[in-house]
A and B are shown apart, each in its own frame.
Chain A
Amino acid sequence: SAVISQKPSRDICQRGTSLTIQCQVDSQVTMMFWYRQQPGQSLTLIATANQGSEATYESGFVIDKFPISRPNLTFSTLTVSNMSPEDSSIYLCSVEVAGSTDTQYFGPGTRLTVL
């Protein structure tokens, strides 16, 4: 498995601003993903964070709104840009560990409220 931390754990932001969420893993991992969980809903994949190249976004999510960086094998950031109340969600980072490619482990999540 892997130990995953996220910062911040929660934040309250004003509309029109941006927030960058950090995801740190205690070991090198093959894949990193970012999910969104809207209130009372299931998880939806935003994008796959690729090390050394641009992230791969799912339908309905674009780089201008959710820019992602992954500078190395243990760290990634997700920015929620130009926020609106509809962006209020829990944002979760997950990782896939080498040798266990069918299992993902999740960080504790970042609870974002946009006013």
Chain B
Amino acid sequence: GNSVTQMEGPVTLSEEAFLTINCTYTATGYPSLFWYVQYPGEGLQLLLKATKADDKGSNKGFEATYRKETTSFHLEKGSVQVSDSAVYFCALTTNQAGTALIFGKGTTLSVSS
């Protein structure tokens, strides 16, 4: 079946450090891949997405590249800020209308000044 595996957290970084959160997936066919972010006390926000192999999704300084050969979609940011502290979820969907998202367990990021 389809699944998403994320690196376990929490991840604790100092401001301006480089961030990587690993995400790998198992899926039949060609899924679309997503990163969602959940700030403290808030709902989920779509951070970025990629719909086919070698696509790079980017937003707010975050990037992730759809790597079909390694079935990965790692999230990166060159210089994190305190305001990036949140829980990050990797997710996939199988590109069929009405298909639900399958989420990873989430990775908590804490950035200190």
Q: A residues near B, CB below 8 A?
A: 30-31, 33, 41-43, 45, 48, 58, 90, 92, 94, 96, 101-109
A107 in contact with B43 given A31-B97, A33-B100 (CB within 8 Å): yes
Q: Are A43 and B89 in contact (CB under 8 A)?
A: yes
Residue ID in chain B nearest A105 by CB atoms? B46
A-B contacts, 19 of them at CB < 8 A, read: A31-B98, A33-B100, A41-B105, A41-B106, A42-B103, A42-B104, A43-B44, A43-B89, A43-B103, A45-B100, A58-B100, A92-B44, A102-B32, A102-B95, A104-B46, A104-B93, A106-B36, A106-B43, A106-B44
Our count of residue pairs bridging A and B at CB distance below 8 angstroms stands at 56
A101 to B93, CA, bound (A): 10
Interface size on B, residues (CB 8 A): 22
A58 to B1, CA, bound (A): 15
